[in-house]
Amino acid sequence: MKRSLPLFALLLCSFFAQAQADKVRQLVQQRQQQLLQEYLQFVAIPNVMGDSINIHRNAAFIQQMMERRGIATQILTLPIKGASPLVVGQVKVPGATTTMGFYAHYDGQPVNPAQWAKGLSPFTPQLTTDRLDRGGSFVPGNAVPAVIPEKMRLYGRGSADDKAGVFAIIAAYELMKQSGQQPKANLTFIFEGEEEVGSIHLDDYFTQHKALLKADLWMICDGARHVTGRKQLVFGVRGDINAELKVYASARPLHSGNYGNWAPNAAMRLAQLLASMKDDKGMVTIPGFYDDVQPLSKAEKEAIAQIPDVVPTLQTELMMIHPDGDGRNFQELLNIPTLNINGFAAMNVGSMASNIIPAEATAALDLRLVKGNTVEGQFNKVKRYIESKGYTVLDHEPTAEERKKYPLIAKLTMNDGAYPAQKTPMDLPIAQQVIAAIQSTTTDAVIKIPTVGGSLPLYMFETILQSLPVSIGIVNYDNNQHAENENLQISFLLEGIVTMAAVMGVH
Amino acid sequence: MKRSLPLFALLLCSFFAQAQADKVRQLVQQRQQQLLQEYLQFVAIPNVMGDSINIHRNAAFIQQMMERRGIATQILTLPIKGASPLVVGQVKVPGATTTMGFYAHYDGQPVNPAQWAKGLSPFTPQLTTDRLDRGGSFVPGNAVPAVIPEKMRLYGRGSADDKAGVFAIIAAYELMKQSGQQPKANLTFIFEGEEEVGSIHLDDYFTQHKALLKADLWMICDGARHVTGRKQLVFGVRGDINAELKVYASARPLHSGNYGNWAPNAAMRLAQLLASMKDDKGMVTIPGFYDDVQPLSKAEKEAIAQIPDVVPTLQTELMMIHPDGDGRNFQELLNIPTLNINGFAAMNVGSMASNIIPAEATAALDLRLVKGNTVEGQFNKVKRYIESKGYTVLDHEPTAEERKKYPLIAKLTMNDGAYPAQKTPMDLPIAQQVIAAIQSTTTDAVIKIPTVGGSLPLYMFETILQSLPVSIGIVNYDNNQHAENENLQISFLLEGIVTMAAVMGVH
């Protein structure tokens, strides 16, 4: 569906797309019992990084699921100890000039079984009649009914994050074909096993398999539908820098009586430095901090205006009267960079406090980056700002010589693993096609989010594969991802299959 | 020696006083072996609060030392579990209208024997030929020589702080009498056993024995001579308030990506609040903070001008280029109140840091008070300042109702045990007499300090007994007080006896 089509053609396409989605949904309903039975086997395989045997069992299971559906597969590995395999599936369409990529991950967050609700075990998937804390009860013998009730849930690690994504993609391919539709673009599927530890080898896989993994668009199938239940597409993520700022005063902590008023206080110095970085509206005062931000496009501004407003709900829940952000829209604020104090420390508070003038004080900072910011650039703005306050900024503990030489000393270091933001323009023709495809599966308006506040290293798709990613979440928002009692509302998985099948029609 | 005496009389008095001091010094030299032997027995009695049996053995030993010298004694106790006895000695002089009080304490700081140097044990006093870390060695069998070498030291808990004070007072009385001089004022001696835990019952003793303990001047014999070796008198101490300031943002910590730029950060709020309390010269900006300070008298200003300048030495040792205090004199800065951050904390730094927006942040503060400040007044200045920044200042954790009602919430609490400053005017006639008495024992100018930076609850002498205290330190400054390897340079104790005997001549 190209943007230049006349209105009539658009409406016609839309009509056929809706009819197609309905067909897939019907098939999903017919096959629901069998699909869930297969999914239960998948969730039963432990999937925490470090448990190498089970990580490989997951990869083999995924490979078999694809093979059963006629998808060509390969399992890529790296000669790095502990690196999880990347499972790849490919569907080549004769004559196709476009390739659509589909990504999900099969690894899960570490578990502490003791924290899970009574009767639950992270890797013994358990069906329940509803959310357990809303009166749900265990389904005896995990017997899958022929018709799965709307509220039925499946508890288990990975049930929502993100085996649901893996399964929805693979099942969608099968059901799309069964519905009579053939893919028009080549399809590439990749399933990663290290997302929860920061996708630490994804760049290696991308670099070594550039040609294999190049696509016109990568659909990242991870995360949840909007809290309202509406389907949502995410076009960007913020980048992230973790940094540590430490300031120094005397060579050692001093008695606050004997030296108070005379000896400088490292905690006060740090407080003054940090305090001056934001104004009383919570906006960053560091010169140029917002300067290189890529402005929102017209399409992005329109999309933002249509995102349901969660602020009143949040303010009530968080018991917060005045948000930061100088009165700007919540979503707008997620589209500019941040400077945040994660924590600070100097000597002790509470019962361990003593009458001391701290000699050192430390703050942990994180800087979220948006499109336009670079890691080095953003870090250097902070560094130059501290220098402008008279500080000599070191990247190491000051030596005695340095202490004797510089009146004001700070140490600013960047942690490993910083990366830039990624954003896919939502007005790209192929992005517009994806939006229309999703919209064809639902009568509610699809929510389009230019950038979420959080960070993922999606920039790799762009910088290594020269491909653009778009993210879609299919599971229930209340899935307890990363925590105990992770669960999936099964009707969301089934509808997710319909959603992914629709995207597979894009070309 | 009244201030109105003509110059000739002053010089005459001075001459006799010096002659008297020389006589006592001669006697000390004759008796040095015996005095040290007695002192070794005293230091051998463990003196840490909580060790009730030994605390009482110390009290009994002190009582015996006084009785042997013909001083009337009594041991005061309180009906409070664990309270240490107060040992009192009295010398009544027929016709005397003045009473001089002498205070020292017999308890010591807790010990960790493992931290002491090899061969040392805190309560097995050990003589050495010099400071151990300057090449001193153990004196075999602790044999006390007839003539004690200048550099000889005695290691043991309480050897310097403050059994030296107790012993110097008692021995001074004996040797003054032996030298042929009779006291002209009544003498009252008190020896406390709880100084190292904050003199927690001294106010009870004072209240219950007001008449017994009233004196025209109390000499507090505790602490060290000046770092230059010169004798020094201290006329005041700062008061102290410990307070905790906590600020709140959201009801719980939030993900810095999902909420960054929008959710207020408690650490930033606290940083901004603290930062605004001082200017970049380290002076407190809270309105009225310095307003009620009692100005220094002419005598105090002159005394300050004559205190040896330790600042260059300190700056070198502390590797500090720019002190706080807006260019004011170090001593002057000890004579104004302080506001100091002892420590602060919000979430974590270092390896435990996470991408979080802290919901709470806490600072431990101490406020040193000088004469003119009141505890309530100084605390309220801080409280009103925080209020002026838009905060509602509570004395408890905010309730949900309060969180929903007030945009900015802080909790400010004062710890137990705050107390005001104490200062004795150094131009009082009796204070002038004490200065002259000490000066008669030395050719170096006696250092007079209007107020030291540290805090002691000496206000009790003033408010309960209506008596004024003056402090004198007699031991070597490098005595490791409060720490491991506490030690006394014995020649300082012997000269301390001369000093205290001179003060006993005051009337």
The pLDDT tens digits for B392-450 are: 999 999 999 999 999 999 999 999 989 999 999 999 999 999 999 999 999 999 999 99
Segments in chain A below pLDDT 50: 1-3
**Minimal C-alpha gap between A457 and chain B (Å):** 13
Please name every residue paired with B121 in a beta bridge, in sequence order, or none if there are none.
Answer: B124
- Chain B residue with minimal CA distance to A245? B349
User: Chain B partners of A353 at a C-beta cutoff of 8 Å?
Assistant: 242, 244, 342-343, 364
B329 touches chain A (CB under 8 A): no
Q: Is the dihedral of CA A320, A321, A324, A328 positive or negative?
A: positive
Radius of gyration of chain B (CA): 26
Residues B258, A338: C-beta atoms closer than 8 Å: no
Query: What confidence score (pLDDT) does residue A507 get?
Result: 82
pLDDT value of position A186:
97
Residue B341 host element (H or E): strand B340-346
Residues above pLDDT 90, as percent of chain B: 92
Token pair for B251: 């009801």
For residue B36, give both structure tokens: 């040290």
Sign of the C-alpha dihedral computed for residues A290, A293, A297 and A299 taken in this order: negative
H/E stretch holding B409 reads: strand B409-414
- Residue numbers in A near B341 (CB within 8 A): 265, 267-268, 271, 346, 358
- Please say whether the beta carbons of A454 and B258 come within 8 A: yes
Give how far A350 is from chain B: nearest CA, Å. 7
| DSSP element (H, E) containing A469 | strand A468-473
Q: Is A331 helix (H, G, I), strand (E, B) or coil?
A: helix
In tens, the pLDDT along B67-124 reads: 999 999 999 999 999 999 999 999 999 999 999 999 999 999 999 999 999 999 999 9
Q: Is A293 an 8 Å CB contact of chain B?
A: no
3-state secondary structure of A59: helix
B409-414 vs B153-155, strand pairing mode:
unpaired
Residue B447: per-residue pLDDT: 97
Residues in chain A with CB shorter than 8 Å from the CB of B323 are 262-264
Q: Which residue, among A320, A335, A415, A416, would best test binding to B if mutated, counting the most B CBs under 10 Å from its CB?
A: A320
Residue A274 to residue B260, Cβ atoms within 8 A: no
Contact A340 B353 (CB under 8 A): no
Distances (CA, A) of A283 to A65, A275, B1, B268: 50, 11, 69, 12
Residues in chain B: 507
Q: Give A471's DSSP letter.
A: E
In the A/B pair of chains, how many CB contacts fall below 8 A? 273
Mutate to test the interface with A, among B226, B250, B262 (most CBs of A within 10 A): B262
Sketch out chain B's domains with CATH numbers: 7-115+157-235+424-503 (3.40.630.10), 238-293+336-414 (3.30.70.360)
For A243-310, give the DSSP string.
EEEEEE-SSS-EEHHHHTTTS--HHHHHHHHHHTTB-TTS-B-STTTTTTPPPPPHHHHHHHHHS---
CB contact under 8 A, A267 and B282: no
Within 10 angstroms of residue B133's Cβ, the number of other Cβ atoms is: 10
Minimal C-alpha gap between A37 and chain B (Å): 35
- Tell me the one-letter amino acid at A234: V
Label residue B354 exposed, middle or buried (CB < 10 Å: 0-12, 13-18, 19+): middle
Closest-approach residue (CA) in chain A for B390: A280
In B, which residues are within 8 Å of A342 by CB distance?
256, 347-349, 353-358
Is B320's CB within 8 Å of A264's CB? yes
d(CA B504, CA B178) in angstroms, rounded, equals: 13
Kindly tell me if the per-residue pLDDT of B345 is higher than 90: yes
Contact between residue A346 and residue B341 where contact means Cβ atoms under 8 Å apart: yes
Partners of B280 on chain A (C-beta within 8 Å) are: 272
| Residue A242 DSSP label | E
| Among the partner residues B255, B320, B346, nearest to A341 by beta-carbon distance | B346
One-letter identity of residue B197: V
Taking contacts as CB-CB distances below 8 angstroms, the residues of chain A near B289 are none
CA distances from B494 to B128, B165, B226, B489, B501 (A): 16, 11, 16, 9, 11
**CA distance to partner chain B, nearest, from residue A187 (Å):** 32
- The answer to whether B364 contacts A350, with C-beta atoms less than 8 Å apart, is yes
Residue in the structure block whose two tokens are 């260019």: B327
Report the residue of B234, B256, B290, B311 to disrupt the A interface, i.e. the one with the largest count of A CBs within 10 Å.
B256
Whether the bond into A162 is cis, omega within 30 of 0: yes
Q: Most B CBs within 10 Å: which of A247, A252, A268, as the mutation test of the B interface?
A: A268
The backbone torsions φ and ψ at residue A87, rounded to the nearest 5 degrees and listed phi first, read -90, 130
For residue A115, the tally of other CB atoms under 10 A from its CB is: 11
Q: Which amino acid is located at A198 in the chain?
A: G
Cis peptide before B162 (omega within 30 of 0): yes
Query: Which residues of chain A neighbour B224 with C-beta distances below 8 Å?
Result: none
Taking Cα atoms as reference points, which of B395, B321, B492, B424 lies closest to residue A248? B321
One-character DSSP codes across B234-303: E-EEEEEEEEEEEEE-SSS-EEHHHHTTTS--HHHHHHHHHHTTB-TTS-B-STTTTTTPPPPPHHHHHH
Q: Which residues of B touch A324 (CB under 8 A)?
A: 261-265
SS3 A11: helix
Give residue B32's identity as a one-letter amino acid code. Answer: Q
Tell me which chain B residues have a C-beta less than 8 angstroms from the C-beta of A403: 319
Q: What is the largest CA-CA distance in chain A?
A: 86
Query: Looking at this protein, which amino acid is placed at residue A387?
Result: E
Residue by residue, DSSP assigns B314-335 as HHHHHT-SS-SSTT--HHHHTT
Q: How far is CA A137 from CA A44, A128, A485, A490, in A?
A: 20, 5, 14, 15
Asked whether the beta carbons of residue B257 and residue A362 sit closer than 8 angstroms, the reply is no
Query: What pLDDT, on the 0 to 100 scale, is given for residue A113?
Result: 92
Say if residues A363 and B253 touch (Cβ distance below 8 Å): no
Interface of B with A in 143-202 (CB under 8 A): none
> Taking the CA of residue B212 as centre, how many other CA atoms within 13 Å lie in the half-sphere pointing to its CB?
17
**Placement of tokens 């006060």 in the chain:** A268
**The amino acid at A317:** E
The C-alpha atoms of residue A316 and residue A309 are separated, in whole angstroms, by 13
Q: For chain A, how far is it from start to end, CA to CA, in angstroms? A: 8
CB contact under 8 A, B280 and A257: no
Q: Which of B249, B278, B320 sits opposite A268 (nearest CB)?
A: B278
Question: Residue A16 has what pLDDT?
Answer: 86
Structure tokens at B507: 């009337």
- Return the axis-axis angle of helices B7-43 and B429-439, rounded to nearest 10°: 70
Say if CB A243 and CB A366 are below 8 A apart: yes
For A281, the closest chain B residue by CA position comes to: B264
What number is the average pLDDT over the span B356-374?
97
Q: Would you tell me which residues 224-253 of chain B have a C-beta closer than 8 angstroms to some C-beta of chain A?
A: 238, 240, 242, 244, 249-252
Place of tokens 């609040």: B273
Query: How many angstroms separate the CA of residue A53 from the nearest CA in chain B?
Result: 29
B374–A contact, CB cutoff 8 A: no
- Nearest by CB to B453, from A257, A270, A366: name it: A257
Q: Reduce the DSSP state of residue A179 to 3 states and report it.
A: coil
| Numbers of helices and strands, H then E, in chain B | 15, 20
Could you tell me the two tokens for A265?
């206080």
CB of B413 within 8 Å of a chain A CB? The answer is no
Helix axes A490-503, A429-439, angle to 10 degrees: 140
CB contact set of B484 (below 8 Å; sequence gap of 6+): B111, B112, B115, B116, B117
Overall residue count recorded for chain A in this entry: 507
d(CA B319, CA A404): 5
Mutate to test the interface with B, among A311, A336, A342 (most CBs of B within 10 A): A342
